[in-house]
Structure 1
Amino acid sequence: MGAWGDTPTSLFNFLILRDMDIKKWIFLAFLLTPVLFGCKSKAVQNQPSGDIDQKVQALLSEMTLEEKIGQMSQVDPGVFGGIGSVKEAVRNGQIGSVLNLVGAREVNEIQRVAVEESRLGIPLIIGRDVIHGFRTIFPIPLGMAASWDEELVRESASIAAKEAVSMGVNWTFSPMIDVSRDPRWGRIAESGGEDPLLNAMMARAMVNGYQGDDLSDPMTIAACAKHYIGYGAAEGGRDYNTTLIPDIYLYNVYLPPFRAAVRAGVATVMSSFNEINGIPGTGNKRNIREILKQDIGFDGFVVSDWASVEEMISHGFAKDGKHAAELAIKAGVDMEMASRHYANYAKELLDEGKIKMEWIDDAVARILRVKFRLGLFDHPYVDESLADSLLLHPRHLEVARKLAEESVVLLKNDKQLLPLKKGTKVALIGPMADQPYEQLGTWDFDSNEKDSKSVLEAFVEYNGSSNTFFAEGLEYTRDKSTDGFDEVERAIAKSDVVVAVVGEESILSGEARCLAELEMVGAQKELLELAASKGKPVVMVVMSGRPAGLYKTQHLADAIMYAWHPGTMAGPALTNLIFW
């Protein structure tokens, strides 16, 4: 555990202890930007290979316009009409990527159609949100950032890649490196917080972890830096909201993490939902085609966020789907996710002279380049036996535990209450003390709560059932009923120390999970007041997807540990920290 000064944000310091010092972080990032972002990375995936470029150009010369547009289209089988419809479109060269198809056998079958039944045999790239682990879940990215351990974060991404590969995934929509300064915004859970330097460290670590030293290694996957750009600056902390970003902030705050990702060799970048000074991120030619591709030198491909091409209509920036496709292609978005405006209108736009053939060729060349770098043309299929040996491997769980431990932040420890001696009689209370699912956090699509070890489980295993008196008090964090408080009182009466595990459920953070208030929800404050009234030392452990406001509760605890949502190994990690 580190002091609060080891956490990713001084803004968070303000929220919890009213000690804001944003200027020092910006100044530090400004000083270190030339050092960090001027260094060459060992990764070389972003450097074009002459051999690959020759293959790309040769293949490009054989493609029809319809096949080129197909490479620029990504679909979700559930939205597209089912796997049968996807197979037919793949067979006809109308799709270049599929997302949210999981399972080695299922992926191999659709890949077989692409490679063996389509005219040119171009393999698919299979995308999935692998945000902080695949089956083994690590702390949420905001928690990982609090560790400041770049090597451990890199290893966690490498593990996530191996587990994802075993289930057919070869492309993740991560890392999310939006500089985020409003904890009301639900997606702050996915970011590295407010500091450009720390977000850049996370970007480099995760890209290197997912992609390794050689992207063609079958145990690596393509990374995707998102959301380009300024999504974390949403006004009022409201998701998808507009942003106002002067160039001085664009270049010195929001751009450095993406520059770091490109230098680390990131294969892909995702355009953002939000408007930036009135122009949607997906339609911003200056930011994508000029700054990202030309100035920074990114030579991978840009994918839209989910239907963000179509959402330019909702922004009032595009009048219809055809206009939206025109704006996105002009801007430099190479692949459209989920919506079908490229497929429906690109040929018509080209015939009308509203887009250029060179833009389409450039987009397709970028997509093919990534597929060649991934080695998909040589090894398109997945070993279907991998999952049995890789998912939840003991080493994976060990890294998850260690990273969970390093992510925890010690905010308070009066009279050196922590750590406790083994054998201490503990009243373990609170709605997050035995929540194997909720402690995993947001964006964990492929996890299984049965793999997750809760604080109660770990306490009993280490400290003994005879020394652990459990009474959650509240069934869930938003519970306002105090019916369970009598049981809490009885547990405290038998104990020497109270450990209260509070916070927020996983559903309260993540995409479209924005809050107006940051104080604890439900009757958790009343639960802590009850614990504090009994005259015994109180340890408060906060599990949350965002920095919470502890103005009204910090005085009720003698020690405070901020654990974020720590993932699969939350229980063992917290037990190791709380006890000798």
Structure 2
Amino acid sequence: MDPFEDPSLGIEERVDDLLPRLSAEELVGLLFHTVIECGPDGSLLEGPGRIAKSATRDVVVGKAMNHFNVHALADARTAAAWSNRLQELACEQPHSIPVTISTDPRHAAAQNAGTSWASVFFSQWPDPMGLAALDDLELIGAYNDVVRREYVAVGIRAALHPTADVATEPRWGRQRETFGQDSGRATAFTRAAVRGLQGDALGPDSVSATTKHFPGGGPQAGGEDAHFPYGRDQVYPGGRFVDHLEPFRAAIAAGTAAIMPYYGRPVGLSIDDEAIEEVGFGYNRQILTGLLREQLGYDGVILSDWELVNDNHVGDQVLPARAWGVEHLDPAERMLRLLDAGIDQFGGEECTDLLLALLAEGRVTRERLEASARRLLRVKFALGLFDDPFVDVDAAPSLVGAPDAVAMGLRTQARSVVLAAVGDALPLRAGVRAYCEGLDAAAAAGHVTVVERPEDADVALVRLRAPFEPRSDLFLEQWFRAGSLDFPPGLAHRLGRIAAHCPLVVDVSADRPAVCTPLLAVADSLTVTFGVSDAAWLDAVTGRVPPEGRLPIDLPSSMDEVRASAEDVPGDTPHALFRAGHGLRLPTR
């Protein structure tokens, strides 16, 4: 064995031995982290995928890359078999550097190719906002421990979460991934999430955490998202930058393996009386080196968010590189700017030839690349990937979606339901005749007697999604919900016609807040949910699993107050319909 292959040696000793052995191609390959797709029945793709730009062999062997964010997976056995094939392919590299497979969240029902995946063979839980509604640190740790066990079983060893952003802007479309609007709670929950994934220290049974989006992606101007040019600005009109930073301090103290800065560019921000350059956080040396490295003392991996160097081509659509504030730079200049800011790894990119050229031209040094490669290799060694990167394909189906985890996830969904207003209709009586909209008839039939008309019903059950304004049909844009929080003006009138026949129970599935004021005029009862299935919601409103949730965010009373509020200040609408912390209990019959 070479020293780097010897598990009896310390991590630093192994890294010290391996680094000088690496060719320029191997060194550069470590600094890229892009999308990969699983082929049919766990095969390796022999050509580009729907989103993946290259065949798997081309990136693993041809470009010496070994960090990949996997997209859709069919089932546990397929995922595990694919992971093993990927690790076998990596053995064809000169030093057999194992692959680190990462993923966006998979344990909730939401599907967004830019942020999360619906993978129903994993146990299913509420969104992080729903976990926050239960305000239970032990639950956050237990949930993330389940996530860790299920990821490890299929070979996923890096989580592109938790999301430590503080949800202070009601219109922002990524709030469901957060722990709500309270910085203190988000800080405690982020710490618990990192420890649930990693343990007290990274080890062979850990999943490395990537805490995002430094230094807090919540205060987006007008609530628009920085994935898109019209949402590039982050603003702090209330002067609350420090509140958004606190959860990241906790993640660093908990040992988070990686931190991801957001796309946004800070506008009008000063730190210690120093004006911060208005360029995206990934390019911002004041933020990444000055604040994160030097002031906060972080020496883990800094992984950029996706596609900061090149435009992304998906089908016939071209999505511009998210180079906010440095759009005028060419790809080589953007890459140099990212490295100078402090980035260790380029997310969503596979342009290894560009970095190799910069190295050959002397525009970037091997010493600079080795500094980042050292951080990346430390994580691989700590996770035990160099010693055994393979998983047990036969065991995976029993380890993923185990009955106890599934039952706990379903029960947690039901418990997380928030009762905003409760009338005489709740809890639902056994066998009650129910007219249903927006929920699956088969799920409802297990709890109530479903009827076709409100006229024949004892109660009406209606589940609504929080409103939004579609932006366009561009890739990704269709999944990011933005704009007004008002329901269509005719909705309350239509629901009132239903309520004329029977008591009306309305649920609002809140991936962001909604202006529910008009609903209270027609609904007997109002619930708010954060990633709760029909079956779990019915468990809650029937009292089978009593709902315990309390709002982790305010529900505003009007859009006028939302538009007048400061993006970085929690609870900044003066006459909120329901404040964070609100939540009633079912009456006893």
What is the TM-score with the length of structure 1 in the denominator? 0.75
- For residues 524 and 89 of structure 1, do their structure 2 counterparts lie closer, same or farther at Cα, with a shift above 3 Å needed? same
Amino acid at match of 2:434: A
Q: Which AA in structure 1 matches 2:22? A: M
Q: Which amino acid aligns with 1:322?
A: A
SS in 2 for 1:105: helix
Letter in 2 for 1:387: A
CA drift of 1:173 comes to 0.9
Which residues of structure 2 form unaligned runs of 5+? 1-7, 38-44, 74-78, 109-118, 268-277, 311-320, 548-585
Shift of 1:507: 11
1:427 aligned residue: 434
Alpha-carbon RMSD: 3.1
Please name the residue that 1:549 is paired with.
515
Question: Is 1:51 aligned to residue 38 of structure 2?
Answer: no
Shift in Å at residue 367 of structure 1?
A: 0.4
In the other structure, the counterpart of 1:387 is 396
Give CA deviations for 1:73-109 in whole Å, capped at 9, x if unaligned.
1232469836984324423562121221651111211
Alpha-carbon distance between aligned partners in 2 of 1:428 and 1:402, rounded to the nearest angstrom: 25
Aligned to 1:192: 179
How far apart in 1 are the matches of 2:512 and 2:322?
29
Residue 418 of structure 1 corresponds to 426
Letter in structure 2 aligned against 1:336 = F
Asked whether the 8 Å contact 1:74–1:97 carries over to 2, the reply is: yes
Deviation for aligned residue 1:245: 4.2
| Aligned counterparts of 1:417 and 1:127: Cα–Cα separation in 2 | 45
Q: How does 1:407-556 map to 2 (within 5 A)?
A: 407-414=416-423, 418-423=426-431, 425-431=432-438, 433-434=439-440, 456-463=441-448, 468-471=449-452, 487=453, 489-492=454-457, 495=458, 497-504=459-466, 512-521=479-488, 524-534=491-501, 536-556=502-522
- Residue 328 in 1 paired to residue 338 in 2? yes
Q: For residues 303 and 150 of structure 1, do their structure 2 counterparts lie closer, same or farther at Cα, with a shift above 3 Å needed?
A: same
Per the TM alignment, residue 318 of structure 1 is displaced from its structure 2 partner at its CA by 4.8
- Give the secondary-structure state (helix, strand or coil) at the position aligned to 2:156: coil
Structure 1 residues 390-399 or 564-573, which shifts more? 564-573
Identify the range of structure 1 (118-127 vs 510-519) with the bigger mean alpha-carbon deviation: 510-519
Contact 1:131 1:190 in 2 (8 A): no
CA contact (8 A) 1:56 1:368 kept: yes
Q: TM-score, normalised by structure 2?
A: 0.74
Matches of residues 219-230 of structure 1 in structure 2 within 5 Å? Answer: 220-230=206-216
Alignment of 1:297-308 (within 5 A): 297-308=297-308
Task: Report the Cα distance in structure 1 between the residues aligned to 2:415 and 2:394, rounded to whole angstroms.
Answer: 33
Cross-structure match for 1:484: none
| CA contact 1:68–1:364 (8 Å) conserved in 2 | yes
Distance verdict in 2 for CA 1:330–1:470, change over 3 Å: farther
Deviations 1:152-195 (A, max 9, x none): 12222222222223333211211112112223222112112222
Conservation of the 8 A alpha-carbon contact between 1:262 and 1:298: yes
User: Post-superposition shift, 1:70?
Assistant: 0.8
CA distance in 1, matches of 2:69, 2:62: 18
Q: Secondary structure at the match of 1:552?
A: helix
Paired position in structure 2 for 1:559? 525
**Alpha-carbon separation, structure 2, partners of 1:307 and 1:210:** 26
CA 246–351 in structure 1, closer or farther in 2 if over 3 Å, else same? farther
Deviation at 1:143, TM superposition (A): 1.8
Equivalent residue number for residue 86 of structure 1: 56
Cα distance, 1:379–1:410 mapped onto 2, change above 3 Å: same
Give the letter aligned to residue 25 of structure 2. Answer: E
3-state SS of paired residue (2:343): coil
Q: 2:221 aligns with which of 235, 249, 270?
A: 235
Paired with 1:347 and 1:380, the residues of 2 have a C-alpha distance of: 28
Question: Partner of 1:113 in structure 2?
Answer: 89
Which is worse superposed, 368-377 or 317-326? 317-326
In structure 2, relative to structure 1, the CA distance for the partners of 1:353 and 1:286 (3 Å cut) is farther
- Greater CA drift, 330-339 or 164-173: 164-173
Structure showing the higher helix proportion among its residues: 1
Taking the TM superposition and a 5 Å limit, the aligned residue runs for 1:25-40 are none
Does the CA-based 8 Å contact 1:506-1:545 persist in structure 2? no
CA deviation string 1:187-236 (max 9, x = no partner): 11211222211221221222122223453233x32111111233222111
Percentage of pairs with the same residue: 27
Q: Name structure 1 gaps, 5 residues minimum.
A: 1-48, 435-455, 472-486
Name 1:43's counterpart in structure 2: none
